[in-house]
Structure 1
Amino acid sequence: MIDGIIERPSPNFDARKLPITLLVLHYTGMTDAASAIDRLTDPAAKVSSHYLITEDGAIVRLVDEDKRAWHAGNAHWRGIDDVNSASIGIELVNPGHEHGYRPFAEPQMQALLPLMADIVGRHGITRGNIVGHSDVAPARKDDPGELFDWERLAKVRLALPRPHRHLTDPLWSDASFLLALERFGYQVVDAKAAVRAFQRRFRPANVDGIIDGECRAMLLSLLTGGDKGAEARQARG
């Protein structure tokens, strides 16, 4: 376990109904850490997370991991509809898109990595199940957003990397792309929102909600093992 965690227990939790298989990252979307902590511990707000990390790198525990925190809301990932029951939620203090969205602070990222590694190691969470709030609730949420450094996490195997090499456009129709996106894990009831969530996660420089050749190629790569899978297929000829 990580040392130096600050305890600020929230009353907003209940019993889990599923084993822990997911880790969901959020931003707070509020002006400062104090406001976010106050809301996450307010019984009337009915929201919480397991952890919160301030911009100066302090880790605050709000809900014990064996309890179901209320962080994901109406969400879905890889066949799981009760994402709260199956996940650990981490809130990163950041004003978000409504209050002056900015890059995540270096001390915050330095605190996040060992916390994630500890959680993932203890629960056996796979990289494909380390997601953002926008991944599990694409029609409602944008966080942690396009400024979050997923590639930094991927370099230490705490997230799936963005496919870069040997990308081939499979020329799927839009309907076929959405079926593939659903197979990967997204809920596609709101198609454009699902595409934007995929782009925000894997192509943050261009989040336009339009299915194009690059999106198709990246999704194909992810479904077939990423860059290493592509290299293996190329080697086989």
Structure 2
Amino acid sequence: MSKTMIDLFLRSLWETILMTGASGFISLVAGLPLGLALIATERGGIAENVWLNRLLAAIVNGFRSVPFIILLVALIPLTRLIVGTSIGTWAAIVPLSIAATPYYARIAEVSLREVDHGLIEAARAMGGNRWTIVREVLVPEALPGLVAGFTVTLVTLVGASAMAGAIGAGGLGDLAIRYGYQRFETAVMTWVVMVLIVLVCALQWLGDRLVARLDHRG
């Protein structure tokens, strides 16, 4: 590849990392509390509220049921309102975050549900309030699963960020479409695929190592 193409490739790689990292952080910050709320408000939960639980579940399921490419287009007015434009890397972070948040919330919910209910009851018996149970029991006990789920979310975001390239979001997906597909440059397409594979494998490896370090059950 020429120096110009290498510079373009490196910039596209950085844009993909930026989109994945920023939207992943937002999905963690918003999705974990949402997962906790789903667990806490379910029947028999530490803050039982069946109607609120059903409302939250409906919202989560509603966003998760919309294919990402449709969500990208549907959220263009909101994206333009938030960042001032509907194209580019920062514009893509908005739909990526909105798509990833309910996805991670469901993964977090599954991990939190696996916490031994006896530990929760023991914390209650010792006078622990709801926040104490969340801070001292639910999150610490579910941490390996939460990290594993976040890793899966990041890997999914890598693929979604590439898909966002179809509407001019930048990143490796945009590079593959504009040069690899539209200009029939097979080498560019091949390099993009290889880098995406390496990026996904690296994320999964790091996530697996962190989960192994946090998992005290073994």
Q: TM-score when scaled to structure 2?
A: 0.27
User: Larger C-alpha radius of gyration, 1 or 2?
Assistant: 2
More strand by share: 1
Bigger helix fraction: 2
Q: Which has the higher contact order (CA 8 A, sep 6+)?
A: 2
